[in-house]
Amino acid sequence: MSFGDPNNPYGKQPQQPQQPPQGQPGYGYPQQAPQGVPPQQGYGYPQQGAQQPGQPYGAYPQQPGQPYGAYPQQPGQPYGGTPPFAHWGLRFLGYLLDMVIILGPMYALMGIGAAMGPESAGASILSIIGLLYFIGMLVFQLYKEGTTGQSIGKRAMGISLLREADGRPLGFGMAFVRKLAHFLDSLACYLGWLWPLWDAKKQTFADKVCSSVVVKIK
């Protein structure tokens, strides 16, 4: 057996790796696209329309003037991805419940005081307590409506008061301004209170002045 024998394993020379043709990358290197054809993005490269930094997984791309990650705007919605506008019946029941909560205990205390007689010291004390309750509950309701969008009555009815522009709560200051603007609803035989019955956005005159909407959340 000689070293040149092909059956001799010790006589085999190590094979040199084949070099790729000049001008072409080897295996494992990015392939160049033919001339006139746009390069394709390979695995591991960012894809077009992919998730943007800081964007929640699966969220829709943010559009100008649209809340972050909201769905496209649908007919009858104030902005993309929000619930539908609350109809007049829900708004009325929520307002009625708020008035009962604010005024009911005050009138009850004053009634008890009146039954005790105008000269009674207890009647005066009950009247003062009733008045303080009225002021405190009114401020509390405005605060909750401005900061969360829901007073006690609105929460019970499953509706919320929001800014039309971005769907956020009005804030305490604007909620107070909206209460003052309700005097517009009482003009012309209380027409503004009934306006949500046929208005496209279910708004009263006060809502239009303050750019607010009431939506149904459940």
**pLDDT 10s digits, 169-191:** 999 999 999 999 999 999 989 99
| pLDDT over 60 (residue 1) | no
- What share of the chain has pLDDT > 70, as a percent? 62
Residue carrying structure tokens 């160049």 = 32
Is this prediction's pTM over 0.75? no
Residue 57 lies in a domain: no
Furthest CA-CA distance within the chain: 137
pLDDT digits (tens, 9 = 90+) for 96-136: 999 999 999 999 999 998 888 777 788 889 999 999 999 99
What does R_g of the chain's alpha carbons equal in angstroms? 36
What pLDDT, on a 0 to 100 scale, did the predictor assign at position 43? 46
- Does an H or E element contain 176, and which? helix 172-181
User: What's the mean pLDDT when you consider all of the chain?
Assistant: 77
Asked if the model's pLDDT at residue 92 lies above 80, the reply is: yes
Task: Give the confidence band of 16 by pLDDT, cuts at 50, 70, 90.
Answer: low
Give, for 210, the enclosing helix (H) or strand (E). Answer: helix 205-210
Res 35: pLDDT: 60
Residue 174 lies in a domain: yes
Let me know the angle formed at the C-alpha of 199 by 195 and 204, rounded to the nearest 5 degrees: 40
The residue type at 45: Y
Determine the length of the chain. 218
Is residue 179 in a domain? yes
Predicted confidence at residue 120, as pLDDT, reads 78
Task: Please check whether residue 79 lies inside any domain of the structure.
Answer: no
Helix and strand counts by DSSP (H, E) for the chain: 6, 2
Sorted by sequence, the CB contacts under 8 Å of residue 103 that are 6+ apart come out as 134
Q: Which two tokens stand for residue 55?
A: 């964007």
**Total count of domains within the chain:** 1
pLDDT number for residue 40: 53
* pLDDT over 50 (residue 65): no
Check pLDDT > 60 for residue 8: no
Per-residue pLDDT at 5 exceeds 60 = no
Pairwise pLDDT comparison (39 vs 202), residue with the higher score: 202
Residue 78 CA, distance from chain mean position:
11
Residue 39 lies in a domain: no
Residue 153 CA to residue 142 CA, distance in Å, equals 12
Give domain status of residue 27, yes or no. no
Q: Does 98 fall in a domain?
A: yes
Q: What confidence category does residue 45 fall into, taking pLDDT thresholds of 50, 70 and 90?
A: very low
> Given this model, what pLDDT does residue 150 score?
96
Rounded Cα gap, residues 161 and 175, in angstroms = 9
Distances in Å between the Cα of 21 and the Cα atoms of 27, 31, 125, 165 are 12, 13, 103, 62
Residues of the domain holding 101: 88-216
Residue type, 7: N
How much of the chain exceeds pLDDT 90, in percent?
51
Residue type, 159: I
Does the residue 139 lie in any domain? yes
Amino acid letter at 199?
Answer: D
